[in-house]
């Protein structure tokens, strides 16, 4: 399946929630241990077949939940 087809598979509201759940799962299962950096936004967006804006919305939710922290100049 090409990424354009995948990107259109979920409405925007559902896409970011789906991505947030996948990222949350990686954090909780130890794929990204506490204190580690997440992969760069472009890599995450590509691996989840979503736009940067959708990925940022998902990460913003995780920041609001306290699961990740953004550090200016250092990433997430």
Average of per-residue pLDDT values in the chain: 85
Q: What is the spatial distance between Cα 33 and Cα 42, in angstroms, rounded to a whole number? A: 20
| Three-class secondary structure of residue 72 per DSSP | coil
Does residue 20 or residue 3 have the better pLDDT?
Answer: 20
- Verdict on whether the full-model pTM lies above 0.85: no
| Confidence at residue 1, expressed as pLDDT on a 0 to 100 scale | 45
Q: What percent of the chain has pLDDT over 90?
A: 64
Mind listing the domains of the chain with CATH numbers? 3-65 (1.10.10.10)
The residue count for the chain: 76
44 falls in which pLDDT band (50, 70, 90)? very high
């Amino acid at each position: 399946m090409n990424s354009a087809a995948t990107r259109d598979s979920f409405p925007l509201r559902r896409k970011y929630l789906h991505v947030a759940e996948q990222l949350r799962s990686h954090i909780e299962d130890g794929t990204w241990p506490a204190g580690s950096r997440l992969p760069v936004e472009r890599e995450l967006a590509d691996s989840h077949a979503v736009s940067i804006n959708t990925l940022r919305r998902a990460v913003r939710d995780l920041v609001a939940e306290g699961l990740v922290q953004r550090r200016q100049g250092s990433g997430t």
